[in-house]
Amino acid sequence: MVNARWPGVDPEWSRDIDVASSSAADEPGRMRRWHLLDNAAQLSRRGLTPAGTLLCVHGNPTWSYLWRALLAAGSDPAHPWRVVAVDQLDMGFSERTGTFRRLADRINDLGDLTTALGLDGPVVTVGHDWGGVISLGWALAQPQQLAGVVLTNTAVHQPANSSIPPALRLALHPAVHRWGTTTSDAFLRVTHSLAHPPLAADVRAAYTAPYRSAGRRTGVGNFVADIPADPLHPSFPALNRVAEGIRGLSVPALMLWGPRDPIFSDRYLKDLISRLPHAKVHRFEGAGHLVAEDRDIATPVFEWLADLGRDSGPADAEAGSPTAAPLAPVVTTPVSSSAASPTATSSGRMPNTQTPSLWAPLTDLAAGPASADTAVAEMDADGTVARSLNWQDLEHNIAAVAAGLQETGVRPGNRVSLMVPPGVDLTVVLYACLRLGAVVVVADAGLGTRGLSRAVKGATPDFLIGIDKALAAASVLGWPGRRISIRDLPPIRRRLLAVETSLPALARRGKLLAKTVPLQAPDADAPAAVLFTSGSTGPAKGVLYTHGRLAAMRDTVAGTLGIRPGARLVAGFAPFALLGPALGAVSVTPAMDVTAPRTLTAQALANAAAAVNATVVFASPAALRNVLATRDGLGSAGYQALERVELLLSAGAPVPEPLLADVQRLLPRASLHTPYGMTEALPVTDISLEQIRTAAADAAAGTMAGAGNGVCVGLPVHGARVAIIPLAADGTAPGDVPVTEPGVTGEILVCAPHVKESYDRLWLTQRDSARTPGWHRTGDVGHFDAAGRLWVEGRLAHVVTAPGAALTPVGVEQAIELLDDVGLAAVVGVGPSGTQAVVAVVETLPPVRRAGPAAPELAGRVRDAARLAGVSISAVLAVPSLPTDIRHNAKIDRTRLARWASAVLAGGRPGTP
């Protein structure tokens, strides 16, 4: 039964209770009437014993209605929990006391209520907005009952050197305060407008219901007035006691955050993480202040509650936290005999072995006979070397910058955002930060302004080191971090960009300190880097690597591809521009924009190769296409430089065999390899051109089980294991038993020492990716053939669920791309899951002028090609160009295409996908 006035609320939950007040705001023993939403009676009537109690505290100007989803979830027989959602005094449908209740009073009030309710633990507090502070204040006062804390967009500390959020500053202004918060309902309306998507009319009405008159809104105004804007505020001591007190909380903690919050921004989340470093954190991109309305928070809260036993560590045991009651049993999933379980820690992570530090080869070369040889170089547009350092100078510069950064305040664990193009400067500052134990944050401009800004703000760096363009963007877009320029700036520009110092200045100072300031090598398990994904499958995700895992990545690349110290490489692919010095390889960055791979020309590649007598080239598929398109301008010297290349690596997206064949003619001596991997695990498998041709022949002959339907990416790399979770008919991979039998399509799993540590501040995403113990679930789908080679068939999210079958897209796309007048193809599903129509979207050669339904003749040939691949196409659409990610210029945004195709087939205007 649902209360028609309060959608989503069962009337059985609503109750009132009289509570004796011990607050300083009341005379002793004064009775106050509270309104609650409480499912205790419902659980009792159903004969359900709760595992514990969620004590939910709203902020301003909401009320207990905010927590209705938790009440509904807690009433589920599968995981019964008592949920007590309070209306604070003067708020919601609780009593209007006529008193001004400050923070200390409200913490005390909550204690009075729980005493009256007879709560005896285990209790998990849940708080939002200023209810977060109050719930934490209660938690600190009731350690015997406390089992955990959950926080959503809140704050416990206002830094002295920063002002409170503009929205709150306006609400506090004497000319606005009373009218904005009490006389009118402006504060309510503004708060409700922060929902993404907007609140439904009936939900908005329910939130407004307790505050329909000015007399009912006095508590709203008083709540705002009680914000401790500075240390002189009467509630500042109480806030400070909470802020400092929670540093000692060792119970499990969960933070669910909406980054689009103009009030409690990511800087407040960062502060909370510093005080509760053991907390599980998940940022819901696109969600805002009312995160409980914007996203389903009930599911993660109850998943976290079920995990409490598995997450409890020594700190929890020592604290004596009463977490035993709500704990779920630990289930161990067996692994099939065809994919024996890897040796993993109890957390499902591979143990780190002792390996040399990431920069050990660099240090060795700097101290050896090759110390005067070129180590790193960058090219100018005219084909000459713009800058270079030998191994000894590189080592000295890194040591000097590290000492300078240390003196300026960079400490182990500090996050440093690097907004510097690949080359000498980035190499120096990257390795300097790593030696200090700082965590480098790398998000390239290929994410676009919006994506880059979202990534930087989410990572909340302590320092930002960048070129002028990045520093200007930081000023305009409000990126966090103390700013350091890579070059000396004129005083006026330095002040304008709020730049504290520069790399040259740090190096000059550091040269005087380097020998007197010893640096302790970071532990292998210490965080080292946050690397952002390309954003081609949703908002870019931060991927956290430890020092041990980065070193393992180096060793995997070296062991798989035979790259040894002394190799000479052209780094036209940003990740390997950073890895080169760790391999002990001479690294040169060609004259190109590495965030736009299509800018690499044949002449630029040849110039870079000639500069270092390159033996290895790293380049993305899009870069290789442009190299081939511009090769006519190469002279004999350019061809000769490329003829000396012995190994070419192309990663970031599948590389078609015809493209590699053309590249082979340009680099006749090179062994061409296309490693498969991702930001979370680079690389996973490797395959050469010769092996691609062998796999294609096996598929064409039809004599080898599993050969065909997708892109063959070869065998697992050195130290890695790969397995499959079989795909279900609904397009999901619901199992947890990895297999390696040929011909079984499913989600690809990888286990290796160089797999990411975790996703950064994305607890739910990390939990999902690690739900098969010891394995990383990649989100890609594929299968093995009888030779053990892996074939990639697409992304799990892009599987088309046609009637009676789940269709992976890559195989049929490849068949369509064999047509002479088709450049790229994408196959997407349109319609409800399970009954989707299969739609082909093709990029034509030459490009069509307008996007829309393909010409009948082309559509017929596309259908015929797809039919040969065993797929029936319902509709064919043609576009001038398919939307691809910016970083690789190759990964097709099929999710975006599916939305566009759905609109077109529904009769909408085609426009541009």
pLDDT of 124: 98
Domain end, chosen from 752, 773, 797, is at: 797
At 796-836, the pLDDT tens digits run 999 999 988 899 999 999 999 999 999 889 999 999 989 99
Residue 781, domain CATH? 2.30.38.10
Burial tier of 450 (Cβ tally within 10 Å: 0-12, 13-18, 19+) = exposed
Q: Helix, strand, or coil here: 716?
A: strand
Name the E strands within 87-211: 123-128, 146-152
Whether the per-residue pLDDT at 318 is higher than 60: the answer is: no
Average pLDDT rounded to a whole number, residues 95-102: 96
Structural domain span for residue 815: 800-905
Are 516 and 482 part of one and the same domain?
Answer: yes
Domain end, chosen from 797, 824, 846, is at: 797
Q: Which residues contact 33 (CB under 8 A, 6 or more apart)?
A: 16, 17, 18, 19, 94, 95
Are 398 and 500 part of one and the same domain?
Answer: yes
Domain end, chosen from 290, 319, 348, is at: 319
Are 292 and 240 part of one and the same domain?
Answer: yes
CA dihedral over 567, 572, 575, 578, signed as positive or negative: positive
Are 816 and 767 part of one and the same domain?
Answer: no
Bridge-based pairing of strands 123-128 and 146-152 is parallel
Structure tokens at 642: 């490329």
- Count of structural domains, the chain: 4
- Please indicate, yes or no, if residue 424 is contained in any of the structural domains: yes
Are 197 and 82 part of one and the same domain?
Answer: yes
pLDDT of 322: 32
How many beta carbons lie within 10 A of that of residue 350, not counting itself? 23
C-alpha 325/C-alpha 317 separation (Å) is: 14
Are 691 and 823 part of one and the same domain?
Answer: no
- Please indicate, yes or no, if residue 617 is contained in any of the structural domains: no
Whether the per-residue pLDDT at 334 is higher than 50: the answer is: no
At 655-696, the pLDDT tens digits run 888 899 999 999 999 999 999 999 999 999 999 999 999 999
Strand order in the sheet with 837-844: 822-830, 837-844, 875-879, 852-853
Whether the per-residue pLDDT at 313 is higher than 70: the answer is: no
Prediction pTM value: 0.90
Whether the per-residue pLDDT at 345 is higher than 60: the answer is: no
Are 829 and 783 part of one and the same domain?
Answer: no
At 553-578, the pLDDT tens digits run 999 999 999 999 999 999 987 777 78
At 716-775, the pLDDT tens digits run 999 999 999 999 989 999 999 999 999 999 999 999 999 999 999 999 999 999 999 999
Average pLDDT rounded to a whole number, residues 426-442: 96
Bridge-based pairing of strands 776-784 and 746-751 is antiparallel
Question: pLDDT grade, residue 310 (50/70/90)?
Answer: low
Structure tokens at 713: 């990416």
Residue 57, domain CATH? 3.40.50.1820
Residue 502 is classified by DSSP as E
Are 789 and 823 part of one and the same domain?
Answer: no
Residue 559, domain CATH? 3.40.50.12780
C-alpha 686/C-alpha 648 separation (Å) is: 12
Contact 621, 653 (CB under 8 A): yes
C-alpha 312/C-alpha 16 separation (Å) is: 36
